[in-house]
Amino acid sequence: MSRRWSNRKPVPGYVKRILAGQTVVEMEEILSPRTSMGETMMLGLRLVREGVPFDRFAALHGVDLRTVFAEQMARLQAQGLIKVDDQRVLLTERGLLIGNQVFAEFLED
């Protein structure tokens, strides 16, 4: 399971909590494995040159992204929006133009 959190803002409130020995975590949310994997794809595809390496995805989530997102990848590749090589998935130039639509494919449950 993945966890998303945010700390207390603004800085004076953060410091006050630290000095009082209190937690600075203001909000916490537990993400489903599928949501966490989708966010990995969204954030990784934004890294234009790096993309989402298969080994990093597997290390983070314990599964092969080519299995989890096989349908999405096949559809996006057929549309010319992503390219897949032996090591990673990357956005194509065309995919960059509509990146948010590509990301949405991985974020839908």
Residue 60 shares a structural domain with residue 85: yes
Residue 65 shares a structural domain with residue 84: yes
Predicted confidence at residue 109, as pLDDT, reads: 62
Q: Which domain holds residue 18?
A: 1-31
Per-residue model confidence as pLDDT tens digits over 63-87:
999 999 999 999 999 999 999 999 9
Asked whether the predicted pLDDT for residue 102 surpasses 90, the reply is: yes
Per-residue model confidence as pLDDT tens digits over 3-45:
888 998 889 989 999 999 999 999 999 999 999 999 999 999 9
Predicted confidence at residue 67, as pLDDT, reads: 96
pTM listed for this prediction = 0.81
Predicted confidence at residue 68, as pLDDT, reads: 96
Predicted confidence at residue 5, as pLDDT, reads: 85
Q: How many domains, the chain?
A: 2
Residue 102 shares a structural domain with residue 55: yes
Residue 47 shares a structural domain with residue 69: yes
Question: How many other C-beta atoms are found inside a 10 Å radius of the C-beta of residue 25?
Answer: 12
